[in-house]
Chains A and B, each alone.
Chain A
Amino acid sequence: MRRLLAPRIFAFVILTLTLFVELVSSLYANQAGVIDWHHQYIGTPKVSFFHKFVSRGAYVLIASDRNVLASINVRSGNIDWRQVFDENENILAFKGYENTAISVSQRDNDYIVRSWESHSGFMLWENRIKNVRIDKNSNPIIENDAPGVDVIFAANNLGILILLEGSTVINLNVTDGSQMWRSDLTDSSTIFYKLVEFKEKAYGVGLKKSFSSYTIEVITYDITNGISKLQSLNSKVGNIKDMIVLGGSIQDGFIIWNEGGFIRVNRLGTLVIEQSSLEELYENVIPSFANANGKLALLDLNLGSRTEFLVEVPTKEGNTAAVFKVDSESGRLVALYDLEEKSENSLYSATFDKNSRLIISRSRVVAEDVAKVDIIAPGTGLVLGNYEIPYSLNSYGDLKKTVLDVDSKATGYRMLVTSADGSIHFWKDHDMVWKSEESLAHTIEAEFLDLPERKLWTQEVDELAEQPEESETISPLARYIRRVKTHIEQLKDFPAYLTAYVQRFIIGDHEAELRFTDKSKFSLHRDTFGFRKLLIFVTRTKLVALDTINKGQIIWSRYFGNDVFEFNKIFIVRSSTVKYPPLVVAIGIQRDSKGKIVTRLFRLNALTGENFIPTENEKYFPSELSLPIITKRILKLPVEEPDERTHIIALIDEELKFHIYPNHENAVKAFIQFAPSFYFTLSDDIGEKSLKGYKVVKNNVQPFDITEVWILNFPEGESIAAIGRRPQNEKIASLGRVLGDRSVLYKYLNPHLVAIATLSTSKTPATLNIYLIDIVKGSILHHATHENVGYLHPIRIAQIENSIVYHFWSENYNEKGYVAVVYELYESEIKDQRFESPVFSSFAHERPYVSAQAYMFPYGINAIGVTITKHGIATREFLFALDTDQVFGVSKRFLDPRRPQRVLTNEDKEEMLIPYDPAIPDNKKWVLSYHLPVAGIRQIITSPALLESTTLVLAYGLDLWFTREAPSKTFDVLSEDFSKGTLLATIFGLILGILITKPMVRRKKVNARWY
């Protein structure tokens, strides 16, 4: 009786402990920003300008190609405010005016004009403009750099004039955005692209298509009432780039165009045309133009009402340029300054200082790692600055755009520079003040890379690297001495290690240890808990590697813009193993010299970003490769070639040929061995109407042929909306689920199972179909239908182990809102029953038992991720990227189809089930990203740490956000709030107590003997 009690007490202790463990971990306020980091991005600027308004200082306003409006602090590079538009709402124009900024964007067929408070980012008003004639086909001159959209501010607050689609002009009230007048042009052969306003009249300048060229047309508006008058100029313009429009507001406006051998100038509002001969220009006026070797280009410097502009001429070795001005009195051209010939491609930008002096910058990259900026005042010919700025051509590519500004105290020249990879740099005089890796806003894919162990690195230099023959020649004594030397070498790091250890002990900061090791020789290595990994990103034309610790610091980046038009895949083909560096392969497309599309492959050392060239097998393993194919699908095969131990990559081209990389003899052998059990699908992209299963034909000739094994046509009107595959790095701890009565439901774990969601939009609301398909034989294992589903809303599906979660918008008669459905697949509905065959085969006729449950979800989502831990023991957590720009973690225990819809029985309690509730609670404590605005997330990926409790989470899209998540709390490390001080104090207290009481007790005992 008494003996039985002991285990019961233990059970009680454990029970009370588990009661204290919360269902889902959440953060304390002081943990925010310690383990997680967040990089905010805006994308590559389309429009950027310095905006100054009274005392608030200067900031840069940017409209980007990711449809983001942002204000950036010039001193720190921090984002002051940011507005992220929907993906389908393109920003066409952005312009600042006093303390507001006006944006024009297009969504479907509507134009939206919004006014923003420039320092806070609050919207002041918006106006939707409808029924604008949109006829892209007949508008050949509407291009990205001249979209037929222009915004100007009329003097005396007479309104904001906006030109849309080259055909409609509206005048909006400055204060509330209400429309004052609107004028639609009916003649579709004329496209207007620029507005100028002066003397209470507005002018629209456009081009009218005539026989082989264009004629300039000018429309004049009365600003107050919009009454217009159309005029044609006697002119011939070959291209929109041959014409610029300058001036306006406080002075007259001018049209300048290049026609025949002349540069012609027209003062707006008149029909007078002044002209200057190019011949004269080339021979006498601008000396450097004598070497001209091509057509001149007119460059608008965007100087507002100023009439200076630039003429750029290519020369044999580079290019040259000169500054011109239209004299507002005479309306003639005046040459101001010859910028002279330079052999590198230069970028120009201009501004004027507080004395209205024009200042021009000329920037160019002069060497691999140096950019040069000349600051010139063309009026006086003074060179104000001549700066060399560190700039890595290898990381960022060439310069693409510069915007110059003069400090309000006129002490420095600062410049916002956009580079070819899409990044933003901010230069001030000699210095790079800040930069932002905006290429990451265009991330295509990202991967976690495990770092090699530190021990292996030291052993590599020590003994492991040596060959057996070599070892024989070394005497034991020499080896002993070498070993001792190594240890002494390591001893040097000991003081630093000790301080880091004490620091870690006191403040409980795990990263202190990592910071210490950063200084050591081999800085890229794994930490004790496996929290440190590399994140390898592939963007449009760039590879970037970030550290998961140190706030996501960039380890290396490499620009491929000269070799690759666009990347589409990245694979880690070899993870960190003893003495071999980890390898990645990036695959992209490029046009060759004949304009044909080729596929490019690059194999890099993942720790440095350099091309990896193996010492021995060089000829088999080209690190850069060009294949004359257009790939349809690229796959990483779960098979390694024997020489370098890299995974084989399969490329399937348009003609359904199957190429492998690397393709040397041994790799082919390894692949042929593997091929019979290899099945894959094609046409499994979003929007496809059928799914096809393939298999490689065994013909031993490269490229291999593939054959269609099965085809699955979805019913009429259905197309694929989302696909859920099991993650390759998932770990499964147990084959079954133990129920309350100690019986087991065996999990259905089919590695070939793909979950596909299709939408049928033939009627609205749409119908959602879910298919679970075995891709080996193309059989549908389960099918479910949801009626009345929103087709505009994203549908997302995730699969892990034996569970599948999907999310959609439902508008049934009796429910309206977001729905999350969870499936769990078991081998049988009956407890303890398994499939008969001990080996799982897709060719068997067994179907899983699907148990499902649906919940109302509190938010709309953009992506689903699942936590993956080292052994898969910790409770899984589904991570949802919410449309409120947050990441929300829901424990598997809440998304569990076994949640009982009754009062909990003892067995349910034993299984630790939570009673069913139709809604997933909107618990703000489950928001892992707390109040951070993690915008534009498209994907959430996870990777296990060495601790079973912890998983590393990365969300990417526009922003990057990284954290370590412990779905069932950090049960394997001491909690951060564990007070080590108290523990030490208690121990010392007890020791002290013993020391004091020991003599006392002894004396008492002795006394007791006496009396």
Chain B
Amino acid sequence: MRRSMILCLVLFFLGLFAIPSFCIKTYKIEGRLVTLKDLPQLEPTTKIILDGGKYSALIRKNGKFVIDDVPQGSYLLEISSKKFIYPKIRVDVDSEGIKPFVTITGSEWSNTGPSLQYPLELPARSTSEYFMVRDGFSITSLFANPYIIMMGFSVLLLFIMPKMMANMDPNALKELQENQAQNPLPEMPDISTTLANYLSGGNNNANVERRRN
């Protein structure tokens, strides 16, 4: 170690103050990808990319990866896979070792997420879903439709109302009818009439009159 330092210094002066490349201490980032079930699902083209391609490595058959010759610094580690979604990782490389953290696109770099163990053991977050799910026809979805529920309800009322009225106390019925006669509901515009009028462009009052008859 000591001797190599001296050699570096000598070369540094000889090379007119250019630092020989082998004197920069580099590190090796290692890890393993864990998929949801088992490894053969991983694509052989899965790549591990450091800082947008400055350093990169291909995945090995056993799911392991090694990125060689990484100098000290703080890096963004991404896993380029079409099948699985992996978290983005911030990796800090310094003389004390390699420290990975979870990071999120769009958050500040100084804002490190939870730290991870090293060597990295990265489980896929989920599989990539590229397609929309087509909601096919099903009876349950049909019945969940508000219009169908409304229709069903009114049909139900159609049957129940006369029975309810029949079962009502005759006095109460009479009172109800009187009430209705006394306060006629304020004229509510109903959508169908308005639409019909709009479309025909006709006189709505005339229509209303006719309906009254």
Which positions in A face B, CB cutoff 8 Å?
1-2, 5-6, 9, 26-32, 81-84, 114, 117, 120-126, 128, 790, 792-793, 809, 811-818, 855-858, 860, 883-886, 917-919, 922, 924-925, 927, 930-931, 933, 977
Contact = CB atoms under 8 A, between A and B. Distances in A.
Given A81-B44, A924-B85, A919 B105 contact: yes
Nearest to A6: B198
Contacts of A811: 51
Nearest to A928: B130
Contact of B129 (A84, A918, A924): A924
A498 B88 CA distance: 55
A388 B61 CA distance: 44
Contacts of A126: 57-58
Nearest to A25: B132
Given A123-B61, A792-B54, A816-B109, A933 B80 contact: no
Contacts, number: 126
B86 to A, nearest CB: 11
A860 B128 CA distance: 18
B68 interface: yes
A982 to B, nearest CB: 9
B134 interface: yes
A82 B131 CA distance: 25
B14 interface: no
Nearest 6 CB-CB pairings of A with B: A919-B106, A930-B130, A122-B61, A6-B198, A918-B106, A29-B131
Contact of B130 (A124, A816, A924): A924
A146 B38 CA distance: 43
B105 A809 contact: no
Given A6-B198, A814-B110, A885 B53 contact: no
Determine chain A's interface SS by DSSP, over half rule. Answer: mixed
B6 interface: no
A83 B45 contact: yes
B5 to A, nearest CB: 19
A918 B109 CA distance: 13
Interface of B: 44-45, 49, 51-54, 57-61, 68-69, 74, 76, 80-83, 85, 90, 104-110, 128-132, 134, 189, 191, 194-195, 197-198, 204
Contacts of A818: 52
Contact of A83 (B44, B49, B81, B131): B44
Contacts of A122: 44, 59-61
Contacts of B197: 6
Contacts of A84: 45
Given A814-B108, A925-B129, A930-B131, A120 B194 contact: no
Nearest to A919: B106
Nearest to A813: B109
Contacts of A925: 129-132
Given A2-B204, A790-B52, A884-B81, A123 B59 contact: yes
Nearest to A121: B44
Interface centre among B68, B110, B130, B132 (most CB of A within 10 A): B130
Nearest to A117: B61
Nearest to B137: A979
A860 to B, nearest CB: 5
B55 to A, nearest CB: 10
A510 to B, nearest CB: 19
A27 B132 CA distance: 6
Given A9-B191, A120-B44, A790-B54, 6 more contacts: A2-B194, A123-B61, A792-B53, A814-B110, A918-B107, A933-B82
Contacts of A857: 105
Given A83-B44, A925-B132, A816 B76 contact: yes
B74 A816 contact: yes
Nearest to B187: A2
A123 B105 contact: no
Contacts of B191: 9
Nearest to B73: A811
Given A123-B60, A124-B61, A931 B130 contact: yes
Contacts of A977: 134
Given A32-B131, A793-B52, A884 B59 contact: no
A125 B60 contact: yes
Nearest to B58: A123
A2 B194 CA distance: 7
Contacts of B130: 26-27, 924-925, 927, 930-931
B52 A809 contact: yes
29 contacts: A1-B189, A2-B189, A2-B194, A2-B204, A5-B189, A5-B194, A9-B191, A26-B131, A28-B131, A30-B134, A31-B131, A81-B44, A84-B45, A117-B44, A117-B61, A120-B44, A121-B44, A122-B60, A122-B61, A123-B44, A128-B69, A809-B51, A811-B51, A817-B52, A818-B52, A883-B80, A924-B130, A925-B130, A933-B45
Contacts of A886: 82
Contacts of B128: 924, 927, 931
A487 to B, nearest CB: 41
Contact of B105 (A856, A924, A931, A933): A856
A903 B43 CA distance: 43
Contacts of A9: 191, 194-195
B68 A128 contact: yes
A860 B52 contact: yes
B194 A6 contact: yes
Contacts of B54: 790, 792
Contacts of A123: 44, 58-61
A860 B56 CA distance: 13
Q: Which of A28, A883, A977 has the most CB of B within 10 A?
A: A883
A860 B53 contact: yes
B20 to A, nearest CB: 11
Nearest to A808: B52
Nearest to B136: A977
A394 to B, nearest CB: 37
Nearest to B61: A122
Nearest to A81: B44
Contacts of A120: 44, 61
B143 to A, nearest CB: 17
A2 to B, nearest CB: 5
A717 B53 CA distance: 24
Contacts of B53: 792-793, 860, 883
A313 B132 CA distance: 65
A31 B131 CA distance: 9
Nearest to A929: B130
A124 B62 CA distance: 8
A200 to B, nearest CB: 30
Nearest to B56: A86
A927 B85 CA distance: 13
A117 B44 CA distance: 10
A124 B66 CA distance: 12
Nearest to B40: A120
Most B CB contacts (10 A, CB to CB) among A9, A884, A919, A931 go to A884
A918 B104 CA distance: 11
Interface centre among B59, B110, B128, B131 (most CB of A within 10 A): B131
Contacts of A855: 106
A814 B59 CA distance: 30
Contacts of A884: 80-82
Contact of B76 (A5, A792, A817): A817
A9 B197 CA distance: 13
A255 B52 CA distance: 48
Contacts of A930: 130-131
Contacts of B90: 816
A924 B106 CA distance: 17
Contact of B195 (A6, A792, A858): A6
B93 to A, nearest CB: 14
Nearest to A857: B105
A983 B197 CA distance: 27
A512 B101 CA distance: 53
A519 B90 CA distance: 59
A813 B49 CA distance: 20
A959 B207 CA distance: 67
